[in-house]
Structure 1
Amino acid sequence: MKKVSIFLIICLSAWISVNNPVVNNYVSSLRDSALPAAKQSDPLYQSIIKNASTYEIPPSDAKVDRVWKAIPGYNGLKVNIGASYKNMKSKGVFDEKKLEYTQVKPKIHLKDLPPTPIYKGHSDKPMVSFIINVAWGNEYLPEMLATLKRHNVSVSFFLEGNWVKRNPDVAKMIVSAGHEVGNHSYSHPDMQKLTAAQTREQILKTNNIIEAATGEKPVWFAPPSGSYRDETIKIADELNMLTVMWTVDTVDWQKPSPDVLINRVMSKIDKGSMVLMHPTESTAKSLDRLITLIEKKDLEIGTVSELMSEERLIK
């Protein structure tokens, strides 16, 4: 009888061990803890570790360049050893095409820099941005928006506050089409000649009007005609806005032919470029071909926010 009882107790204990989640989790943890050791002894795993540094790229800190002023940072790349091993395990051989990466953020960001204008993005980022300043030219906006939509491209429109006040529906249409909106002052003055109070009013008034019309609060400020002084940049910074200029000017207000405009841009455009435009006939007629040629250079077209982002584009 005692032997039967002992047998039943043993069986019951075994059943509990098999069906008890706590016990099962413990057993699983013991089993899983043995995997890394086995994995690390695998020549493939060791090969990935050995070669990882060859493919890794250190992050690039934001900085103030002597010529180009504020330059955003750019994420680095670190090989994800575990994920890369998993990708290569089935064939058991090292294959650089199956490497997985983790992005590594820089230590210094754009927001850490002193108030400084921005003329371009990071020179390693295969992206450019269109800055379209709008204070007039309504008749050309529908064609430009249609071209951007056809190419599935989003850009940044910098709107004059007074223009938005007169054309709230058009401003709303620009945002609804997926584009970013920035601040281009209220009445297009020479910002260099304004007092601090006048500068603050031009920026705040425009922000309020844009937000009321579109629901978007601008974070980028583009001074009219690129005119500013150090105080202008500081006031924008106090209002939590960064000041952007441009890398390449279409000079479209001079009504160049499409060929002249396109050659002007394509001869200078490169990674990180910001291209200044306006809603003009020259730009409207050039935009389709310009987008195609830029994309053929393996450059993406994005908003200013996308260009300034530290996120690395992995081709």
Structure 2
Amino acid sequence: MKKVYFIIIICVAGWIAVSNPFVSKYLSFKMESSLPAVKESDPLYQSIIKNAPTYEISPKDATIDRVWKAIPGYNGREVDIAASYKNMKSKGVFNEKKLVFTEIKPKVHLNDLPPSPIYKGNPDKPMVAFIINVAWGNEYLSEMLATLKRQNVSVSFFLEGNWTKKNPELAKLIVTSGHEVGNHSYSHPDMKQLTASRAREQIQKTNEIIEAATGKKCIWFAPPSGSYRDETIKVAAEFKMKTVMWTVDTVDWRKPSPDQLISRVMSKIDNGSMVLMHPTESTAKSLDRLITQIKQKNLKIGTVSELMSEERVE
């Protein structure tokens, strides 16, 4: 009889351990805590530790470059030893394709820098962004949006406030198509010539119109024709906005042929490039081939926000 009671007690204890999450978690922790001793004696585990430094990359701090002005930071990476071991242990051999990484953030971020224009992303990030300034060219927008959708690419459209006021449905369509919107002033003035109060009015009015039309708050400002002065950058910063310029100009307003436009961009594009374009016939006819050739260079195409993000692109 005593043996029967003993068996019943063991069964009840087992049931409690399984059904009680606190007990279960404790037992799981005890089991995990005993694993390191096993792993440390495993040649695979030692191999991962030995090879890990080869695959680690130091993070890059955001900085103010003498030529390119504000440059965003870029995460580094380190090998997650335990996760990598778990990923490889079924076959028991080291496989670099099964390494698991965790990202390491830089110490200095873009938001830590004083107000400064941004001409490009981090040069270590294999990504580029398209900046499409819109103050006219409605007749080419549908074709460009269709091409971007077909290529599964999201970009940044910088909308003039006056244009958005006249074309709220087109502005909304840009957003519902998965693209980012930014501020391109209200009436396309030479921002360099404006007083701080006039610049503030141009930016604020456009922010309000774009948010009313699309439901999106602008965090990026692109001054018309790239004209600005230090005070312009500071005014944009008052609205928690950063000022973006470009790295590569399509000069599409000069009506280049598709071959000319593509050649111009591809000869200059590189990690972190921001490509300036407009809704023109030249760009509409070039866009599909341009995207394909950029992808063939193993460069991802994204929005300005994605390019400025510290997240890694592998």
TM-score (norm 1): 0.94
Which of residues 15, 19, 27 in structure 1 aligns to 2:15? 19
Alignment partner, residue 296 of structure 2: 296
Q: How does 1:117-266 map to 2 (within 5 A)?
A: 117-266=117-266
Q: How does 1:106-121 map to 2 (within 5 A)?
A: 106-121=106-121
Alignment partner, residue 62 of structure 1: 62
1:287 and 2:287 aligned: yes
Q: For this pair of structures, how many residues does the alignment match?
A: 310
Structure 2, unaligned runs of 5 or more: none
Q: 1:15 to 1:282 in 2, by over 3 A?
A: closer
| 2:304 maps to amino acid | V
Quote the Cα distance in structure 2 between the aligned partners of 1:24 and 1:62: 45
Corresponding residue SS for 1:152: coil
**Cα distance, 1:104 vs structure 2:** 1.2
Quote the Cα distance in structure 1 between the aligned partners of 2:241 and 2:175: 19
**Cα distance, 1:39 vs structure 2:** 1.1
Corresponding residue SS for 1:121: coil
Quote the Cα distance in structure 2 between the aligned partners of 1:257 and 1:25: 66
Quote the Cα distance in structure 2 between the aligned partners of 1:12 and 1:93: 44
Quote the Cα distance in structure 2 between the aligned partners of 1:170 and 1:17: 66
**Cα distance, 1:20 vs structure 2:** 2.8
Q: 1:82 to 1:118 in 2, by over 3 A?
A: same
Tell whether the 8 Å contact from 1:17 to 1:24 is kept in structure 2 after alignment.
no
Q: Calculate percent identity across the aligned residue pairs.
A: 73
Corresponding residue SS for 1:73: coil
Q: 1:254 to 1:37 in 2, by over 3 A?
A: same
**Cα distance, 1:10 vs structure 2:** 4.0
TM-score (norm 2): 0.94
Alignment partner, residue 50 of structure 2: 50
Tell whether the 8 Å contact from 1:18 to 1:24 is kept in structure 2 after alignment.
no
**Cα distance, 1:95 vs structure 2:** 1.5
**Cα distance, 1:299 vs structure 2:** 0.9
**Cα distance, 1:19 vs structure 2:** 3.0
